[in-house]
Amino acid sequence: MISTNEYFEGNVKSLGYTSTTGKSTVGVMEAGEYEFGTSTHETMHVVEGEMTVKLPNSSEWTTYKAGASYEIEANEKFQVKVSEQTAYLCQYK
Amino acid sequence: MISTNEYFEGNVKSLGYTSTTGKSTVGVMEAGEYEFGTSTHETMHVVEGEMTVKLPNSSEWTTYKAGASYEIEANEKFQVKVSEQTAYLCQYK
């Protein structure tokens, strides 16, 4: 089954599925600023567009373009700023 | 706005958005075999999983893994076989 998920009043939407290596989502964020929380380890890949991210325990914002990725441990919070509609792949483990 | 689309009775779902270079969708296909038609030129990128594809005017099936892409001209039909849930990015122009 492919699940359909909406967050932040529909400003972030994702499709959930299971790959051979575990659960994943592909999604799209509207331009905006978001705080996400993790319940498992996440690897976020920028598919199209770009994200500017403040990782947990960091005071710096880093911009990740299409093809780049970053990782977040379980039970952390991180901030994301997006200036255009941006697509991502998130892999959970 | 991020549009939510379903095809093949929910076996293919996608999210539509607009990037700096044009319209795109990210989507997920359930295991199965599908025929798609194009109304514009499409570049399909495999994001996770793999697709086995018969391009228009081809008699051969070619497998594209994550990171690979292929292009289809407008007003063509092509066949796709998927053996696991597979995520893709489709760019229209």
Going by pLDDT thresholds of 50, 70 and 90, the confidence category of residue B57 is: confident
pLDDT band at A84 (very low <50, low <70, confident <90, very high): very high
Beta bridge partners of B23: B18
What residues 10-69 of chain B have any CB closer than 8 A to a CB of chain A? Answer: 10-11, 13-15, 17-20, 24, 26-28, 30, 45, 47-49
Tell me how far apart the alpha carbons of residues A79 and A74 are, in angstroms, rounded to a whole number. Answer: 15
B43: nearest Cα among B22, B59, B57, B58: B22
Contacts for A2 with CB less than 8 Å, ≥ 6 apart:
A15, A16, A17, B10, B11, B13, B28, B30, B85
Query: Amino acid identity, residue A12?
Result: V
For residues B2-30, average pLDDT:
97
Mean pLDDT of the residues in chain B: 97
In this prediction the ipTM stands at 0.95
**In this structure, what are the phi and psi dihedrals at residue A75, rounded to the nearest 5 degrees?**
60, 40
Convert the pLDDT of each residue in A3-31 to its tens digit: 999 999 999 999 999 998 899 999 999 99
* Cα separation, A15 vs A88, whole angstroms: 11
Number of domains observed in the structure of chain A: 1
Q: Are strands B22-29 and A50-54 parallel, antiparallel or unpaired?
A: unpaired
Beta bridge mates, A46: A88
Q: What is the CATH number of the domain that holds B36?
A: 2.60.120.10
Is the minimum CB–CB distance between B82 and chain A shorter than 8 Å? no
Q: What is the pLDDT of residue B10?
A: 97
Across the A/B interface, how many CB contacts are shorter than 8 Å? 78
Q: How far apart are CA A10 and CA A65, in angstroms?
A: 23
List pLDDT tens digits, range A41-73.
999 999 999 999 999 989 999 999 999 999 999
**Domain extent for A76:** 3-92
Nearest CA to CA, how far is A51 from chain B (Å)?
13
- Partner B contacted by A83 (CB < 8 A): no
Per-residue confidence band for B71, with pLDDT thresholds at 50, 70 and 90? very high
